[in-house]
Amino acid sequence: MFRLADRLTQLPPYLFAKLDIMKQEARAKGVDIIDLGVGDPDMPTPKPIIDRLYKAAQDAENHRYPSYEGMLQFRQAAANWCERRFGVKLDPQSEVLSLIGSKEGIAHIPLAFVNPGDVVLAPNPGYPVYHASTVLAGGETYTMPLLKENNYLPDFSAIDEQVLKRAKIMFLNYPNNPTAAVADEQFFQSAILLAHKYNIIICHDAAYSEIAYDGYKVPSILQYEGAREVAIEFHSLSKTFNMTGGRIGFAVGNKEVIGGLGKVKTNIDSGIFQAIQYAGIEAIENQAAAVDASIAIYQERRDVLVAGLQKLGLNVEKPKAAFYVWFEVPEGYDSAEFTAKLLQETGIMTTPGVGFGEYGEGYVRMTLTVNVDRLREAIGRLETVLT
Interval 78-103: pLDDT, tens: 999 999 999 999 999 999 999 999 99
Same-domain status, 327 and 298: yes
Same-domain status, 206 and 158: yes
Percentage of residues in the chain having pLDDT higher than 90: 90
Same-domain status, 255 and 121: yes
Same-domain status, 166 and 52: yes
Q: Is 189 inside a domain boundary?
A: yes
306 vs 21, more confident: 306
Same-domain status, 38 and 160: no
pLDDT tens profile 237-260: 999 999 999 999 999 999 999 999
Count of C-beta atoms within a 10 Å radius of residue 333: 16
User: Which residues have CB under 8 Å from 275's CB, separation 6+?
Assistant: 53, 56, 57, 59, 62
User: Which residues have CB under 8 Å from 24's CB, separation 6+?
Assistant: none
pLDDT tens profile 219-243: 999 999 999 999 999 999 999 999 9
Same-domain status, 159 and 26: no
User: Residue 201 above 90 pLDDT?
Assistant: yes
pLDDT at 17: 73
pLDDT tens profile 16-65: 677 778 778 888 888 899 999 989 999 999 999 999 999 999 999 999 99
Same-domain status, 257 and 335: no
Same-domain status, 51 and 104: yes
Mean pLDDT score, 286-307:
98
User: Residue 379 above 70 pLDDT?
Assistant: yes
Same-domain status, 208 and 107: yes
pLDDT band at 178 (very low <50, low <70, confident <90, very high): very high
pLDDT at 238: 97
pLDDT tens profile 112-160: 999 999 999 999 999 999 999 999 999 999 999 999 999 999 999 999 9
For the chain, what is the domain count? 2
Same-domain status, 267 and 313: no
User: Residue 76 above 70 pLDDT?
Assistant: yes
Q: How many helices (H) and strands (E) does the chain have?
A: 14, 12
Out of 234, 253, 287, pick the residue that ends a domain. Answer: 287
pLDDT band at 15 (very low <50, low <70, confident <90, very high): low
d(CA 124, CA 194): 19
Q: Is 1 inside a domain boundary?
A: no
pLDDT at 30: 85
Out of 251, 267, 287, pick the residue that ends a domain. Answer: 287
User: Which residues have CB under 8 Å from 277's CB, separation 6+?
Assistant: 66, 70, 71, 73, 74, 98, 248
Percentage of residues in the chain having pLDDT higher than 70: 99
Please name the helix (run of DSSP H) or strand (run of DSSP E) that holds residue 364, with its range, or none: strand 363-367
Triad 63, 258, 242: Cα angle to 5°: 55
Q: Is 222 inside a domain boundary?
A: yes
Q: Is 354 inside a domain boundary?
A: yes
Count of C-beta atoms within a 10 Å radius of residue 325: 25
pLDDT at 27: 82
Mean pLDDT score, 324-338:
94
What CATH number is given to the structural domain containing 345?
Answer: 3.90.1150.10
Q: Which domain holds residue 40?
A: 6-44+289-386
pTM of the model: 0.96
Residue 170 pairs in a beta bridge with 121, 202
Same-domain status, 378 and 232: no
What CATH number is given to the structural domain containing 78?
Answer: 3.40.640.10
User: Residue 14 above 80 pLDDT?
Assistant: no
Same-domain status, 268 and 187: yes
